[in-house]
Chain A
Amino acid sequence: KAGVTQTPRYLIKTRGQQVTLSCSPISGHRSVSWYQQTPGQGLQFLFEYFSETQRNKGNFPGRFSGRQFSNSRSEMNVSTLELGDSALYLCASQQPGNYEQYFGPGTRLTVT
């Protein structure tokens, strides 16, 4: 069974631009969560989607948004990028009734 995939793997953007990241969960997994990882703040929860609905949300500004499609694939969007948004963005999926999370390899975003 294929693991969680994330695209693109690396991205360089300029301050003020916007970016969209994509995550495809493991087949059969309906929940997708997004995390931001930085050296200073560690891993922080962004949001979780289940069956196309946002189920939980972390403490991030409204510039960070996401959505989930009917095939469980998810996208995360960051608008008006700031230098501090440079991070590794990880998504994780889990199957119904099981809290174990499986992570993708991440998207490394650099904002210049």
Chain B
Amino acid sequence: KQEVTQIPAALSVPEGENLVLNCSFTDSAIYNLQWFRQDPGKGLTSLLLIQSSQREQTSGRLNASLDKSSGRSTLYIAASQPGDSATYLCAVRLKLSFGAGTTVTVRA
């Protein structure tokens, strides 16, 4: 059974600092890994999707890497802003298995 872990569970940083969020998974036989953002009480917004054959994906200030052999992915958010405050979840597929998320607070 796929286990997905996200560390840390919560993170508080001053505005402008870079964010590093970690995701680890136990079974490397995945199709892809997807990072999401969730605002309180809301649905999930897709941030980045990395196919199993890819090593990283970038979108604006966001960069996600994937190391299947070690079962790890890292989401980097450059120059954080208060609007980046949310819970960030990673999910791996075959059946989509989610981590518990990292709740980020960016202090102005």
Residue contact A42 to B93, C-beta cutoff 8 Å: no
Roughly how many angstroms separate A48 CA and B95 CA in the complex, as a whole number? 9
Q: Which of A62-70, A71-79, A102-110 contacts B (4 or more CB under 8 A)?
A: A102-110
Roughly how many angstroms separate A108 CA and B43 CA in the complex, as a whole number? 11
With beta carbons under 8 angstroms apart, the residue of A44, A48, A99, A103 that contacts B43 is: A103
Residue contact A42 to B42, C-beta cutoff 8 Å: no
What is the predominant secondary structure among interface residues of chain B facing chain A?
strand
Residue contact A45 to B43, C-beta cutoff 8 Å: no
Residues of chain A within 8 A (CB-CB) of B51 are 99
Residues of chain B within 8 A (CB-CB) of A4 are 43
Residues of chain A within 8 A (CB-CB) of B88 are none
Does B32 make an interface contact (CB < 8 A)? yes
B88 to chain A, nearest CB (A): 13
Residue contact B43 to A105, C-beta cutoff 8 Å: yes
Does B100 make an interface contact (CB < 8 A)? yes
Roughly how many angstroms separate A82 CA and B73 CA in the complex, as a whole number? 37
What is the predominant secondary structure among interface residues of chain A facing chain B?
strand
B7 to chain A, nearest CB (A): 14
Residue contact A43 to B89, C-beta cutoff 8 Å: yes
Mind listing 26 A-B residue pairs with CB under 8 Å? A4-B43, A35-B98, A42-B99, A42-B101, A43-B91, A44-B98, A45-B96, A45-B97, A56-B95, A58-B95, A88-B41, A90-B44, A99-B49, A99-B51, A99-B93, A100-B46, A101-B34, A101-B46, A101-B96, A103-B36, A103-B43, A103-B45, A103-B46, A105-B42, A106-B43, A108-B41
A residues apposed to B, CB below 8 Å: 4, 33, 35, 42-45, 48, 56, 58, 88, 90, 92, 99-106, 108
